[in-house]
Amino acid sequence: MAIAKAAAAEKRVPLYAHISDLAGTKKPYVLPVPFMNVLNGGSHAGGRLAFQEFMIVPSDAPTFTEGMRQGAEVYAKLKALAKKKYGQSAGNVGDEGGVAPDIQTADEALGLITEAIEQAGYTGKIKIAMDVASSEFYKTEEKKYDLDFKNPNSDKSQWVTYEQLAQQYKDLASKYPICG
């Protein structure tokens, strides 16, 4: 590392640029697209929402900085919408930093996020990604996913097979701008 730092200093370039030259990386240097966790459910938040993380992805932003700006704008709109629809406490954040309103379903969560994207003026420019964390609500013995696992008296009609859960993913992806 010391040799790489010395070589970068000699060339008067940042260390990452020197390492990039050694690796033969193409220029310009491009940072990855940020995925921003904006709404929490699952084990990371209160309420009944089974799916754990909902993220926005400014995939059309020309730079990382612009993507962060767009994400911050959408997050501010989302927080305001959540408070308006679910009350002041909906602006509280979950363990992962996203808002955690008392949302019941993934469809409801995605609708709220989509509305925030629209209000911020980024329809078609910002996508949505999810980390469902389905292992958190998988019932091993029953071989089913308990979408009502946060309810102490879980409603067995909310327990689904992997085929049903996969179909739910497909249905959501056809309705919302989901990219992952």
Mean pLDDT along residues 157-173 = 97
pLDDT band for position 138 (cuts 50, 70, 90): very high
Phi, psi of 93 (to 5 degrees): -105, 150
- Average pLDDT of every residue of the chain: 93
Residues 6+ apart with CB under 8 A from 129: 35, 54, 55, 56, 57, 178, 179, 180
Whether pLDDT at 161 is above 90: yes
The CATH number of domain 36-175 is 3.20.20.120: yes
Q: For the segment 108-123, what is each residue's pLDDT rounded down to a tens digit?
A: 999 999 999 999 999 9
Task: In whole angstroms, give the CA distance from residue 43 to residue 5.
Answer: 43
Whole-prediction pTM: 0.84
pLDDT band for position 96 (cuts 50, 70, 90): confident
> Domains of the chain: which residue ranges?
1-30, 36-175
Three-class DSSP category at 147: coil
Three-class DSSP category at 55: strand
Rounded to a whole number of angstroms, the distance between the first and last alpha carbons of the chain is 36
- Amino acid at the residue 64: F
Whether pLDDT at 23 is above 80: yes
